[in-house]
Amino acid sequence: MSLERKVISGRAVPIRGNEVDTDRIIPARFLKEITFERMGDFLFQDARFNEDGSEKKHPLNDAHYKGANIMVVENNFGCGSSREHAPQSILRYGIVALIGESFAEIFAGNCKALGVPTLSANKSDIQMLLATVEADPSATLTLDVDSRTVRIQSNGKEDVIQVTLPDARRQSFLDGSWDELGTLKGNLDKIKETAASNLPYFTNFT
């Protein structure tokens, strides 16, 4: 199966707010989970639910955005703690790409390790994009990592905006090398051969 992340299409959910930190994305009390399997259930838990479990008004609780696989955010999204649980919760909820004004560097790196592109655009384009998906939740977005563009189709109209992604990170999505563990596994024979030829005390390297 190809691990390339060249083009991603789908519908988007808008998450407004600058400096949305990782504790808001996934509250600290859920970090005790032994695995990441249920992280998606707790995404934006305190922003979405009252203490009694009743729903607050939030885009992720809006049926119009059910099934959205792209998240549109604002400035410095993912700041604060470097917890990898934040991108894990986003991915396991079903979001496979993010577009925003900017992202915290460690958060963006953690997203890259999961194969989730974090594409940046200027403030006016992000505001246009947020307004578009708020007015038309059925709008379709097509993210092209290679050309660094996002095509927005809504109500019979099409707009294209430019996005940015650091060159090394962009290349990792184009050639599939974002999956560093997968890359290591795929090159295991070469690693064994190199270890055997350079480290003779590894006589039984497995």
What pLDDT is attached to residue 71?
98
What's the rounded Cα separation, in Å, for the pair 83 and 145? 25
Our CA dihedral for 162, 93, 108, 77, rounded to 10 degrees, sits at 80
- pLDDT tens readout for residues 53-86: 999 999 999 999 999 999 999 999 999 998 899 9
What pLDDT is attached to residue 52?
95
- Of 110, 176, 102, nearest to 145 by C-alpha is 176
> The domain 7-175 is classified under which CATH number: 3.20.20.105, 1.10.287.610, 3.30.950.10, 3.20.19.10?
3.20.19.10
What's the rounded Cα separation, in Å, for the pair 144 and 139? 16
- pLDDT tens readout for residues 94-145: 999 999 999 999 999 999 999 999 999 999 999 999 999 999 999 999 999 9
Which residue is it, tokens 């925003």? 100
* Domain boundaries along the sequence of the chain: 7-175
